[in-house]
Amino acid sequence: MKRNRRTAFILAAGLGTRLKELTVNTPKALVSINKVPLLKVLLEELKKQGFNHIVVNIHHFGEQIIEFLKQDDYGIDIEISDERPLLMDTGGAILQALPYFADSEAVLVHNVDVLTNVDLKGFYDGFAQSDDAAWLLTQERNSKRKLVFDKNDNFLGRYNTETNIFDGDGAMPDNCKLLSFSGIHLFKPEYFKDFELKPCYVFELYKKIAENHRVTSKLIHPDYWFDLGTQEQLKNAELWLSSRR
């Protein structure tokens, strides 16, 4: 790995509208679970798993995140990708942050509102040693939005089980796999360098990359995984974590 660097990109720029009043005056990244801000929980987990270079993107109340990061010395290199002028969405966020990844062989992308004990270091090191362009960490769980992979586990697009809309090229193959996205993925920066910098969804970019390179699924089976996008999900996670103490 370049300079023994393990890089993670925390997506913390979202508006957090599903959390309603909790994000009226606060960015989603600083909403607390059991009195600890989500961003702090994730930073500490990444550090524990050996990540020493973190990039955090900001938009909604981004200045609060900047000030929050000044309050603690995590002992790791933390940089800010500033999207306050224009929210770039999940794909555009990567494109804008590419200069921060110039010395990184691989990048782990982690939604700030996902809480799990996945072996991130293990996946990162395995991915860095592979010839693949990207790994999408997936689960076999109920969700209306699915990622579609062919029989060789290469990414084809997304499928909405409610509308039956597939956004890939042509018809969806009969023998394809439908899996749920975990909010965590890994990519190699070299495969993004030729895209135009603009707001876009990351799966649009992955579809293009998958035309010539491997963008594949990696199933995860963690002890726990929570999407903390709503107040109900946040409360459920707090109760579950408290019960384990």
Strands 177-187 and 145-149: antiparallel
The confidence band for 3, taking pLDDT boundaries of 50, 70 and 90, is low
Residue 50 is predicted with a pLDDT of 97
- pLDDT tens across 83-140, in order? 999 999 999 999 999 999 999 999 999 999 999 999 999 999 999 999 999 999 999 9
Cβ neighbours of residue 35 closer than 8 Å, sequence gap 6 or more: none
- pLDDT tens across 186-227, in order? 999 999 999 999 999 999 999 999 999 999 999 999 999 999
Strands 7-11 and 155-160: unpaired
Look at the block and give the residue holding tokens 């660097």.
5
Of 43, 50, 113, whose CA–CA distance to 79 is shortest? 43
pTM of the model as a whole? 0.96
Dihedral (CA of 212, 9, 29, 138) sign: positive
DSSP state of 121: H
Of 157, 204, 206, whose CA–CA distance to 177 is shortest? 157
- pLDDT tens across 19-43, in order? 989 999 999 999 999 999 999 999 9
CATH of the domain at 161: 3.90.550.10
The confidence band for 73, taking pLDDT boundaries of 50, 70 and 90, is confident
Residue 2 is predicted with a pLDDT of 61
Strands 77-82 and 53-58: parallel
Residue 245 is predicted with a pLDDT of 65
Distance CA 70, CA 64 (A): 10
- pLDDT tens across 160-171, in order? 999 999 999 999
Distance CA 57, CA 93 (A): 7
Nearest-10 crossing angle of helices 62-70, 38-48: 50
Q: Residues 68-72: what's their mean pLDDT?
A: 94
Residue 153 is predicted with a pLDDT of 93
Residue 94 is predicted with a pLDDT of 98
Indicate whether 1 pLDDT > 60: no
> How many folded domains does the chain comprise?
1
The residues facing 218 across adjacent strands are: 137
Q: Which domain holds residue 75?
A: 2-243
